[in-house]
Amino acid sequence: MAALFEIVPNISEGRNLVTVDAAVAAMTDAGVRVIHRTSDHTHHRSVITAIGSGAQCVAAGVALAKVTLAHINLRTHRGAHPRIGALDVLPFVPLRGATIEDAVTLAHRAAGRIWRELGIPSFLYGAAASQPHRALLADVRRGEFEGLPARAVDGNWQFDYGDIAHITAGAVAVGARPVLLAFNIELDSRDLKLARSIARTLRESGGGLRTLRALGIALRNDRVQVSFNITDYAATPVERVTELVRVMAGRAGVSIARAEVIGLIPEAAVDRAARVYSTHLKTDA
């Protein structure tokens, strides 16, 4: 069977759904099958999940970059989520009959086309990173759109493709990675220091859980959120993250208000969480 890939682009638009509709349409016209989309007003960000062949995924990424270039201006963009580009993140994920090396090849192909055809530069991250210090997306995005001019003259942070940030579209983080689980936990509190403390303690870079990325974010509804990316859901199960947040927030007298998955979640992760919580329910009963 033909190799199958997933792309999960994040665009810096979560409020104008006409623009998001145009983005989805452009990707579909390029040949991929869009299987999920979600938009968030506070983050001012949309996440689109699509599957297709390698060629289709590259074409869809380029088509999406063209739409975001036409409709998103980062000079006036304000949202809770960090961003460096109108098309902020473009990860290639190997699924059926494909390897991470194949995904790296596609990431290079897409980044090259986006620069040549649209004049938008790229950093490569994840398995496609050109240097170890560029592997983590959070490091690539540090300083955000406003910090790109300084990075262009920094020998450690010059673009992998292109030489100058686009004036309105910024740059793209193009990567190759395994399946990722994006998961947010909303606290019944407006204490941003607490959310950031929990994120700092739990994330891998702070000495916490392996493969876990985390941010503390203020929401518009007088609540705060701990936003997670789990890059290996087998090593760091979602239910373990949830219960650690529950304990840490509880020490401050705060409860979990709600949780949400962004995009799709592997069936194995759902099954494991269901087994764990169903066991607890039986024990409690």
Task: Kindly tell me if the per-residue pLDDT of 190 is higher than 90.
Answer: yes
What does the block give as tokens for 162? 């292109």
Separation of alpha carbons 25 and 110, rounded Å: 19
User: Which residues are catalytically annotated?
Assistant: 81
Q: Are 148 and 229 in the same domain?
A: no
Query: Residue 234 belongs to a domain with what CATH number?
Result: 3.30.70.670
**Judgement on whether residues 164 and 193 belong to the same structural domain of the protein:** no
- pLDDT of 285 > 70? The answer is no
* Residues 92 and 39 reside in one and the same domain: yes
Domain boundary pick from 155, 176, 197: 176
One domain for residues 164 and 211: no
Give the separation between CA 258 and CA 66, rounded to whole angstroms. 36
State whether 125 and 238 are in the same domain: no
Name the pLDDT band for 281 (thresholds 50, 70, 90).
low
CATH code: domain of residue 104: 3.30.990.10
Name the pLDDT band for 282 (thresholds 50, 70, 90): low
Is there a contact between 67 and 23 (Cβ–Cβ < 8 Å)? yes
Range of the structural domain that residue 77 is part of: 5-176
Q: Is the pLDDT score of 146 beyond 70?
A: yes
Strand segments, DSSP code E, in 171-223 are: 172-176, 181-187, 212-218
**Count: domains in the chain:** 2
Task: Tokens for 226, please give them.
Answer: 């701990």
Choosing from 176, 204, 220, the residue where a domain stops is 176
7-55: per-residue pLDDT in tens?
A: 999 999 999 999 999 999 999 999 999 999 999 999 999 999 999 999 9
- pTM recorded for the entire structure: 0.88
Q: How far apart are CA 114 and CA 98, in angstroms?
A: 23
Residues 149 and 103 in one domain: yes
- Cα separation, 239 vs 224, in Å, equals 20
For residues 162 and 214, membership in a common domain is answered with no
Residues 164 and 192 in one domain: no
pLDDT at 97 over 80: yes
pLDDT in tens, 58-96: 999 999 999 999 999 999 999 999 999 999 999 999 999
Query: Helices 100-118 and 54-71, interaxial angle, to 10°?
Result: 40
Answer yes or no: is pLDDT of 283 > 60.
no
pLDDT score, position 222: 87
pLDDT digits (tens, 9 = 90+) for 218-260: 998 889 999 999 988 888 999 999 999 999 999 999 999 999 9
Q: Which of 260, 274, 273, 264 is nearest to 95 (CA)?
A: 264
User: Both 154 and 34 in a single domain?
Assistant: yes
Residues in the chain: 285
- Are 45 and 130 contained in the same domain? yes
